[in-house]
Amino acid sequence: MTPVQQEVDAVIVGAGFAGLYMLHRLRGLGLSARVFEAGDGIGGTWYWNRYPGARCDVESMDYSYSFSDELQQEWRWTERYAAQPEILRYINHVADRFDLRRDIQLKTRVVEAIFDEAASRWEIRTDRGDAVSARFCIMATGCLSEPQLPPPFPGLETFEGRWYHTGRWPHEGVDFTGQRVAIIGTGSSAIQSIPVIARQADHLYVFQRTPNYSIPAHNRPLDPEHERRVKANYGEFRRAARVSRVGFVVKSTDTPALSISPEERDREYEERWQRGGLGFGFSFPDLLVDERANETAAEFFRNKIRSIVRDPAVADLLAPRDYPIGTKRMCVDTNYYDTFNRDNVTLVDLRRTPIDTIMPKGLRTSEREFAVDAIVFAIGFDAMTGALSRINIRGRGGETLHQKWAAGPRTYLGIAVAGFPNLFMITGPGSPSVLSNMIVSIEQHVDWIADCLTYLGQRRGEAIEASLEAEEAWVAHVNEVGNATLYPRANSWYTGANIPGKPRTFMPYIGGVGAYRQACDAVAADGYRGFRISPS
Ligand code: N01
């Protein structure tokens, strides 16, 4: 591919759900755009995460674009929770249906975006030598797109078997039949893949540092009656999602957990456990703010684990104790706990016996050696800031985003950054993003950015930039709301705790999707309050 030298209205970085819809909207505004995508296919998260069992934990009828009624009416999901291949097919269908591919350049990583103050343009460079000058630079780089690589374990280079990261799974798949396999990590990716790998492997060793709370998905073929009902009223269904707390509608109540009897509480928990999915976290309004209320849900969970896992010592190890339920991302599984009843699965407690080193034939903990043929690292991502921090982004005065965020990300609304004019982030830190149905949050940001560019055009503005005061006030608000909850109590990727050396700060905005949307809309209605527009 010959490197391009080009001038466009906008560069979009990333061709996942966010980048594709942004491109579609910019075209609608008559703006020229070029999308750069590191992968050799579109789809972002759903392109890379092909590990066994990969599946969305938001229901299919919710986890899809709402911007085109024709699209949402014609597309047919097959399951309650769609598996990765089906979501990737959907994204590819959208790209074809809206003729998006002609502006997307694959296998190209943006390495640099530098703001030229004199020209008021972004100069963007890629790893293939492209140099593109754009008025707007829009980061659609994803929140969980930068895997923790290389895995931080000594001796990995000596390992003679094959190793994999769940977030960079080989496209041809992996057959573990007859192999002894180690999997490190017990987050969402591990919890989905462990039951599948256990069915294939000769033996599976699960290396757990922190147990997670996981709820059954009760996945099943999509109920045609449910599909018909939703499609008959999709507009209202979507509207309700947009003003909801997390971007999909969940049954909720105003009754605090501690105001009712233990039996009534457990009935509610049991009902939600039987329904399956993330709705469990909304059983009572005080679960994420009152430790004692939270403990009632946590104990319900621990009892469930004890009732499923036959070996009491293994059940005990799988039962989380040292952080409130919901403050690390809850997992949604199919047969996770039950998998530990299999003879070919061994749980290893890394808190008691940490990994010393990886060796040519396996790995060694402080207690013993494990001979394995393959290692699966399900160790997660440098979340929310990882993808952005790997691009050399320089704003006014040559300040890098990396420098600006040295003590943690600072944004206005999770969309813009003071000192970086005409740079936008889709679902950036400081917005609900990972605490919501991502598609709802993506569409909200893309629409907001498109409206903002329209406004700028109408005012004949050259550039729009968040003010430092507005940014500071928003960061303080994000922290205040986060600190009023139990979230900061957990060592989670929400706070950067999973990446050694990463500043600790609660990165997403917990105020709720509906309330956040209102705040963004109010800023726009007030002539983009908190932004400065420079004339052309
Ligand atoms: O990553 P994670 P993930 N030594 O960070 C452990 C979304 N997602 O890829 O908890 C030993 O959650 C780490 O231990 P600890 C979803 O938002 C969604 O599973 O840090 N262990 C943890 O157990 C999710 O939350 C879906 O002590 C180490 C695990 O590795 C997010 O992506 C599916 C370690 C990492 O868990 C990330 O999920 C998959 C070390 N050095 C993902 N470093 C669905 O939609 C890390 N760990 C269903």
Which amino acid residue places its CA nearest to atom 20 of ligand 1? 498
**pLDDT score for 535:** 87
Cβ(189) – ligand 1 distance below 6 Å: yes
Cβ(332) – ligand 1 distance below 6 Å: yes
Which amino acid residue places its CA nearest to atom 3 of ligand 1? 380
Residue among 50, 189, 355, 494 to mutate when testing ligand 1 (max atoms within 8 A of CB)? 189
Beta-bridged to residue 532, according to DSSP, are 465
Which amino acid residue places its CA nearest to atom 10 of ligand 1? 210
* Token digits of residue 74: 């014609």
Model pLDDT for residues 409-439, shown as the tens digit of each residue: 999 999 999 999 999 999 999 999 999 999 9
Model pLDDT for residues 39-64, shown as the tens digit of each residue: 999 999 999 999 999 999 999 999 99
CA dihedral 213, 219, 225, 227 (to 10 degrees): 80
The rounded Å distance from CA 126 to ligand 1 centre is: 30
The rounded Å distance from CA 8 to ligand 1 centre is: 38
Of 379, 3, 432, nearest in space to 207 by CA: 379
Whether residue 4 is predicted with pLDDT greater than 80 in this model: the reply is no
Model pLDDT for residues 230-277, shown as the tens digit of each residue: 999 999 999 999 999 999 999 888 999 999 999 999 999 999 999 999
The rounded Å distance from CA 191 to ligand 1 centre is: 9
**pLDDT score for 147:** 98
Cβ(262) – ligand 1 distance below 6 Å: no
The rounded Å distance from CA 361 to ligand 1 centre is: 25
- Would you say 494 and 510 are in contact if contact means Cβ atoms under 8 Å apart? no
Cβ(498) – ligand 1 distance below 6 Å: yes
Model pLDDT for residues 80-98, shown as the tens digit of each residue: 999 999 999 999 999 999 9
Cβ(444) – ligand 1 distance below 6 Å: no
**pLDDT score for 536:** 79
What would the mean pLDDT of 162-175 be, rounded to a whole number?
Answer: 97
Predicted TM-score (pTM) of this structure? 0.97
* Token digits of residue 210: 């922190």
312: which residues sit within 8 A by CB, 6+ positions away? 306
Neighbours of 434 (CB within 10 A): 18
What would the mean pLDDT of 94-106 be, rounded to a whole number?
Answer: 98
Indicate which atom in ligand 1 lies nearest the CA of residue 498: 20
How large a percentage of the chain has pLDDT more than 90?
98
Confidence of residue 5 (pLDDT cuts 50, 70, 90): confident
Cβ(184) – ligand 1 distance below 6 Å: yes
Whether residue 494 is predicted with pLDDT greater than 80 in this model: the reply is yes
Model pLDDT for residues 341-350, shown as the tens digit of each residue: 999 999 999 9
Model pLDDT for residues 16-29, shown as the tens digit of each residue: 999 999 999 999 99
Which amino acid residue places its CA nearest to atom 26 of ligand 1? 188
- Would you say 220 and 411 are in contact if contact means Cβ atoms under 8 Å apart? no
The rounded Å distance from CA 525 to ligand 1 centre is: 39
Model pLDDT for residues 325-361, shown as the tens digit of each residue: 999 999 999 999 999 999 999 999 999 999 999 999 9
What 3-state DSSP class applies to 278? helix
The rounded Å distance from CA 176 to ligand 1 centre is: 21
The rounded Å distance from CA 389 to ligand 1 centre is: 20
Cβ(145) – ligand 1 distance below 6 Å: no
What 3-state DSSP class applies to 247? coil
Whether residue 1 is predicted with pLDDT greater than 80 in this model: the reply is no
Cβ(363) – ligand 1 distance below 6 Å: no
**pLDDT score for 354:** 98
* Token digits of residue 382: 């440098």
What 3-state DSSP class applies to 268? helix
Cβ(380) – ligand 1 distance below 6 Å: yes
The rounded Å distance from CA 165 to ligand 1 centre is: 11
**pLDDT score for 534:** 92
CA–centroid distance for 424 within its chain: 18
Indicate which atom in ligand 1 lies nearest the CA of residue 144: 32
Cβ(415) – ligand 1 distance below 6 Å: no
What would the mean pLDDT of 8-17 be, rounded to a whole number?
Answer: 98
Confidence of residue 3 (pLDDT cuts 50, 70, 90): confident
What would the mean pLDDT of 152-170 be, rounded to a whole number?
Answer: 98
